[in-house]
């Protein structure tokens, strides 16, 4: 592995007028690494991904650097960006129905991507598309190529999206909530395929989700975002086994899982109090302090990420060597 990261986001700020949604985020993704970005609404995770892909809606502006393959993506022209999108980096969206062109057969869309970025002939591109569809376990791939997006089920569409994203062996794949719109049973199949596809190609993955269990299944490094900042970062095992930021800890404890089902009716889930702050009234200092049991006057100053194995932006973090077990 080279020491040059495939994605190096430095001090990213995304804002619209005086509305600051992302407040200085650093992300490094090394070749072949799988990084998860967790957060809930207003955390800024999706805007971060869109900013990296140069797909922000009109009115949003960015500050900071997004380095990929030796260039700063925030400074190159739309044209130069287009030639990279789909080739060296590609994206998988939450809603494949709106991401696919409804008037074009999916096969044509895939071969279009292949031919735009490679020298492949029409027949070669078609053969590649067929191969990709087979890898994605799409039933009757020959016929599937001739289908329009609306003729496919949600899971099939998302597999088409993954196939398209993988077509040019990108260095980096950004997947924004790839399974949120799918049924639970389909979610697992799609994650499995994404996992295998990333593995085969040695691509790096930046997976954005609100679901910690998806991160646990797919990633080896995780960043937890809250209020536009990264509040905790580290190897997945460290962060999820012994979370140091109270927000991460609260998220982990408040999810109903197999373990607390045994309690059946008697006990209650620990929950994070308060509400997710909106962009318009984000607390100053540590954004989580209004919901945090440990908050003190010190928390009015923004904490920085600190730590060894995993880093947390908190003035009163959990001790680093806490037990792995959860209640």
Which residues 93-132 are close enough to bind other proteins by CB under 8 A?
A: 94
Q: Does 276 bind other proteins (CB under 8 A)?
A: yes
Strand 221-226, strand 71-72: pairing: unpaired
Largest CA-CA distance found in the chain, in angstroms, rounded: 67
Q: How far is the CB of 153 from other proteins (least distance, A)?
A: 10
Q: Does 278 bind other proteins (CB under 8 A)?
A: yes
Q: Does 293 bind other proteins (CB under 8 A)?
A: no
Among 27, 37, 44, 164, binds other proteins (CB under 8 A): 44
The residues near 314 (Cβ < 8 Å, ≥ 6 apart) are 231, 232, 244, 245, 246, 286, 303
Pick between residue 267 and residue 301 the one whose CB is nearest to other proteins.
267
Q: How far is the CB of 252 from other proteins (least distance, A)?
A: 7
Torsion angle, alpha carbons of 213, 214, 216, 222, to 10: -110
Q: Does 17 bind other proteins (CB under 8 A)?
A: yes
Q: Does 57 bind other proteins (CB under 8 A)?
A: yes
* Residues paired with 90 in a beta bridge: 173
CB-CB contact of 239 with 233 (8 Å): yes
Instruction: Tell me which long-range contacts 118-127 makes (C-beta under 8 A, separation of at least 24).
Output: 118/168
Pick between residue 121 and residue 213 the one whose CB is nearest to other proteins.
213
Q: Does 2 bind other proteins (CB under 8 A)?
A: no
Size of the site for other proteins (CB under 8 A): 71
Q: How many CB atoms lie within 10 A of CB 16?
A: 15
Stretch that binds other proteins, among 1-9, 159-167, 233-241, 298-306 (CB under 8 A): 233-241
Among 1, 2, 3, 58, binds other proteins (CB under 8 A): 58
Per CB under 8 A, which of residues 164..223 are in contact with other proteins? 176-177, 180-181, 183-185, 187-188, 191-192, 195, 208, 210-218
Q: Does 150 bind other proteins (CB under 8 A)?
A: no
Cβ burial of 119 (10 Å; 0-12, 13-18, 19+) is: exposed
């Amino acid at each position: 592995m080279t020491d040059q990261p495939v994605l190096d986001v430095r001090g990213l700020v995304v804002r619209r007028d005086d509305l600051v949604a992302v407040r200085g985020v650093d992300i490094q993704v090394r070749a072949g690494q799988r990084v998860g970005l967790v957060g809930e609404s207003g955390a800024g995770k999706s805007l971060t991904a869109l900013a990296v892909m140069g797909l922000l809606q009109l009115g949003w502006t960015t500050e900071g650097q997004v380095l990929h393959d030796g260039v700063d993506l925030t400074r190159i022209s739309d044209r130069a960006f287009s030639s990279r999108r789909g080739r060296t980096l590609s994206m998988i969206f939450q809603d494949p129905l709106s991401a696919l062109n409804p008037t074009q057969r999916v096969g044509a869309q895939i071969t279009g991507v292949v031919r735009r970025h490679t020298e492949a002939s029409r027949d070669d591109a078609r053969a590649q598309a067929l191969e990709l569809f087979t890898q994605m376990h799409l039933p009757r791939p020959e016929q599937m190529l001739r289908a329009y997006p609306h003729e496919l089920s949600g899971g099939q569409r998302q597999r088409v999206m993954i196939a398209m994203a993988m077509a040019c062996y990108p260095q980096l794949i950004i997947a924004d909530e790839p399974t949120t719109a799918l049924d639970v049973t389909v979610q697992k199949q799609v994650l499995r395929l994404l996992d295998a596809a990333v593995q085969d190609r040695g691509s790096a993955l930046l997976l954005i989700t609100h679901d910690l269990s998806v991160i646990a299944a797919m990633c080896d490094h995780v960043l937890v975002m809250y209020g536009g900042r990264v509040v905790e970062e580290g190897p997945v095992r460290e962060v999820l086994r012994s979370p140091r930021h109270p927000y991460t800890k609260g998220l982990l404890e408040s999810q109903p899982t197999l373990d607390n089902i045994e309690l059946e009716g008697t006990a209650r889930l620990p929950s994070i109090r308060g509400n997710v702050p909106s962009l318009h009234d984000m607390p100053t200092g540590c954004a989580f302090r209004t919901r945090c049991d440990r908050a003190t006057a010190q928390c009015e100053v923004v904490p920085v990420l600190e730590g060894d194995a995993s880093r947390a932006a908190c003035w009163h973090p959990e001790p680093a060597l806490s037990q792995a077990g959860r209640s």
